């Protein structure tokens, strides 16, 4: 069953047999909790097939970057980096390109809108940084693929399926053509697609390899202390063991802002009592930090994405290539 069919089935189940008051809307949070439960069931079935046939390759239409300037056996990321960088002005400013991309994505596939937070400002900014990160590091495709492999593991928390990357690619192509106009050409388009598919192929493989672990961990706040109006030290305990190391970070989601995740450093080494500490500073432009500092208390639920290592070796802060972190 495709992701769109999953969401349609969830909505139909939520509304069937009930008298709907005027202006009734199905609770989005409940709908997407059910969607994630169905995705988890699919993942369990995929894991079973994977264990029974370990030599099989992950399914998906996007199987890797097409042959590029380096020939069919070796992707020459440096050549594509030079080509894309030399003509980047054709699709700049990137913020406008991203606006066109999301317009195309949601117009063609309205069901995808529910996988994103209500406010898209943070998402748009981070997708712009993601494109710049890809371009800046395309000359080292092996390192970039390793990073995207880890990112694919993290993206499971969003309910992202391989088909989502395919529709994202189609929306990107439409946005690139619309932004560049008559100056766009096939050579540039192929370079962008090779870059995107390098990232996507690694992300799909990373997600497939992580099927044995939860896509996210449910947690409860055990302590919430304010140090001034803008800083909170928050302790949480997960319902299942959380396998992290000192120095890693986790993306957090509060039910006050469904689908919105933000990265925070884990401020403690692994503890015997299973609790984790986060030091969260409120920033004026971020609703998630506002919710975690000012509107969260002991007993409240949170979700944690998989533990992540901070990026190294780049002056650009990475954020999710593809359907980026929200």
Per-residue model confidence as pLDDT tens digits over 227-280: 999 999 999 999 999 999 999 999 999 999 988 999 999 999 999 999 999 999
How close are the terminal C-alpha atoms of the chain, in Å?
Answer: 25
Question: How confident is the model over 173-180, as a mean pLDDT?
Answer: 97
Residue 263: its H or E element: strand 262-265
pTM score of the predicted model: 0.72
The predicted pLDDT at position 35 comes to 56
CB neighbourhood size of 237 (10 A): 15
Q: Mention every residue, 6+ apart, whose C-beta is less than 8 A from residue 292.
A: 232, 234, 252, 254, 280
Per-residue model confidence as pLDDT tens digits over 180-199: 999 999 999 999 999 999 99
């Amino acid at each position: 069953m495709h992701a769109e069919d999953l969401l349609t089935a969830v909505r139909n189940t939520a509304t069937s047999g009930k008298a709907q008051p005027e202006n009734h809307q199905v609770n989005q949070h409940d709908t997407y909790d059910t969607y994630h439960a169905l995705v988890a069931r699919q993942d369990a079935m995929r894991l079973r097939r994977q264990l029974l046939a370990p030599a099989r390759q992950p399914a998906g239409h996007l199987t890797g970057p097409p042959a590029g300037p380096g020939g069919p056996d070796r992707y020459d990321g440096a050549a594509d980096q030079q080509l894309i960088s030399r003509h980047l002005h054709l699709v700049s400013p990137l913020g406008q390109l991203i606006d066109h991309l999301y317009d195309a994505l949601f117009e063609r596939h309205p069901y995808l809108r529910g996988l994103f937070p209500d406010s898209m400002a943070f998402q748009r900014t981070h997708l712009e940084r993601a494109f710049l990160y890809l371009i800046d590091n395309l000359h080292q495709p092996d390192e970039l693929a390793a990073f995207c492999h880890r990112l694919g593991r993290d993206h499971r928390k969003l309910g992202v399926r391989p088909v989502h990357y395919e529709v994202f690619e189609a929306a990107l192509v439409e946005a690139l053509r619309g932004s560049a106009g008559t100056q766009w050409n096939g050579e540039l388009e192929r370079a962008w697609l090779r870059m995107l598919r390098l990232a996507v192929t690694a992300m799909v493989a990373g997600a497939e390899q992580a099927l044995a672990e939860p896509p996210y961990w449910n947690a409860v706040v055990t302590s919430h202390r304010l140090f001034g109006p803008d800083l909170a030290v928050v302790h949480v305990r997960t319902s299942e063991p959380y396998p992290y190391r000192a120095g890693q970070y986790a993306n957090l989601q509060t039910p006050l802002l469904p689908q919105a995740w933000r990265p925070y450093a884990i401020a403690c080494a692994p503890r015997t009592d299973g609790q984790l500490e986060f030091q969260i500073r409120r920033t004026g432009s971020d609703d998630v930090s506002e919710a975690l500092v000012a509107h969260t208390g002991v007993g409240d639920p949170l979700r944690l994405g998989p533990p992540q290592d901070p990026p190294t070796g780049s002056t650009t802060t990475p954020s999710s290539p593809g359907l980026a972190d929200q």
